[in-house]
């Protein structure tokens, strides 16, 4: 994945669809994926001079992908309606898992391209994430049928980012034998609202919207939770890029038994943050070469990106 900062560079023309042939893209997962992959690569990875906007694909190709996904899900549903047994994956699971693998690889490409020098890490990560996120949001719209058919059903089946088991213990303490089903449901909704408040949502409307807060909560969830296609992408950027950069490296070795005592009146310098990203932010804030406005923009964009992928503001210092 790459971005270009050059001005005056023309935006890439919309990607045309593949030449028509006899192959049916909805015939199998491999056929559908072969049909989708050029569009995904173009939207998520192709170079652009505007990292906040993903390149487009031809309207005919766009419509063709919608049709292919619809036909694939429909054919799977029909074939499994009479044969599906308990515990068998729902239709669309294979495509969803393939998308997850795709975003793992895309995020790892970003990580592999990261500079070794902390001084330029933030300047690299911010435009890369903005480009990746713009692509993820565009793919989310392109594959909206996956959200409507697969993700929504999974959430209804208690497989989403917040599950009954997550809230049962806290809610159970306030439930009595006389409580109605509606009252129990209401208390579960209250628990969900409490979780969304951790991501800036406020009931009075003065904070983040429900959709914005829930997108962050989805991205913060474990990889086994079913979330929207855009949150799936953001979650993988967290697990493959931000989490490793925020991690504190484990220093191996034995402690020195006989330490040299410190001289009286002398204090040790403040320890450097140990995580790579924390060191990079500290270096950026203390640098004198960067323009102040640009420096603050990078910090704001980084903070917004961390939130979007599910890293909370109270994340333990790295």
- pLDDT, tens only, 68-115: 999 999 988 776 655 555 567 888 899 999 999 999 999 999 999 999
- In this predicted structure, the answer to whether residue 211 has a pLDDT above a threshold of 80 is yes
What is the percent of the chain with per-residue pLDDT over 70, rounded to a whole number?
A: 79
Question: Which contacts (CB < 8 Å, 24+ apart) does range 3-8 have?
Answer: 3/47, 3/48, 3/49, 3/51, 3/127, 3/128, 3/130, 3/131, 4/47, 4/48, 4/49, 5/49, 5/127, 6/49, 7/49
Over the stretch 225-250, which tens digit does the pLDDT of each residue have? Answer: 999 999 999 999 999 999 999 998 77
Average pLDDT over residues 157-176: 79
Average pLDDT (60-71) is 95
pLDDT value at residue 117: 92
pLDDT in tens, 114-155: 999 999 999 999 999 999 999 999 999 999 999 999 999 999
- Residue 6 reports pLDDT greater than 50: no
Is the pLDDT confidence value at 42 over 50?
A: yes
User: Average pLDDT over the chain, rounded to whole?
Assistant: 85
- 221, 235 Cβ separation under 8 angstroms: yes
Domains of the chain (ranges plus CATH)?
29-79+89-161+221-247+273-308 (1.20.1310.10)
pLDDT band at 183 (very low <50, low <70, confident <90, very high): confident
Q: What distance in Å separates the CA atoms of residue 25 and residue 72, rounded to the nearest whole number? A: 8
Q: Is the pLDDT of residue 2 over 70?
A: no
Model pLDDT, residue 253: 55
Q: What is the pLDDT of residues 245-269, one digit of tens each?
A: 999 877 665 554 555 555 555 555 5
The pLDDT confidence band at residue 22, using thresholds 50, 70 and 90, is low
pTM: 0.86
């Amino acid at each position: 994945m790459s971005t270009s900062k050059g001005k005056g560079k023309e935006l890439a023309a919309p990607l045309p669809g593949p030449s028509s042939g006899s192959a049916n893209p909805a015939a199998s997962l491999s056929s559908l994926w072969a049909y989708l992959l050029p569009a995904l690569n173009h939207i998520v990875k192709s170079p652009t001079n505007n990292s906040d906007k993903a390149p487009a694909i031809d309207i005919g190709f766009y419509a063709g992908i919608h049709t292919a996904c619809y036909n694939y899900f429909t054919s799977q549903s029909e074939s499994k309606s009479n044969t599906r047994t308990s515990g068998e994956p729902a239709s669309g699971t294979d495509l969803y898992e393939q998308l997850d693998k795709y975003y793992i690889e895309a995020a790892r490409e970003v990580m592999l391209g990261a500079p070794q020098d902390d001084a330029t890490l933030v300047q690299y990560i911010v435009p890369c994430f903005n480009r990746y996120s713009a692509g993820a949001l565009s793919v989310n719209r392109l594959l909206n049928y996956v959200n409507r058919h697969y993700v929504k059903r999974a959430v209804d089946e208690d497989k989403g980012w917040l599950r009954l088991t997550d809230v049962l213990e806290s809610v159970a303490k306030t439930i009595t034998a006389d409580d109605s089903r509606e009252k129990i449901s209401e208390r579960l909704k209250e628990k969900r609202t409490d979780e969304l408040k951790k991501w800036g949502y406020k009931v009075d409307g003065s904070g983040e919207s429900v959709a914005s807060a829930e997108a962050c909560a989805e991205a913060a969830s474990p990889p086994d939770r079913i979330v929207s296609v855009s949150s799936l992408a953001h979650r993988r950027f967290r697990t493959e890029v931000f989490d490793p950069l925020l991690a504190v490296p484990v220093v191996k070795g034995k402690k020195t038994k006989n330490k040299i005592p410190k001289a009286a009146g002398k204090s040790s310098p403040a320890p450097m943050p140990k995580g790579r990203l924390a060191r990079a932010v500290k270096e950026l804030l203390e640098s004198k070469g960067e323009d102040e406005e640009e420096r603050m923009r990078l910090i704001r964009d980084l903070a917004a990106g961390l939130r979007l992928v599910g890293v909370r503001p109270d994340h333990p210092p790295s």
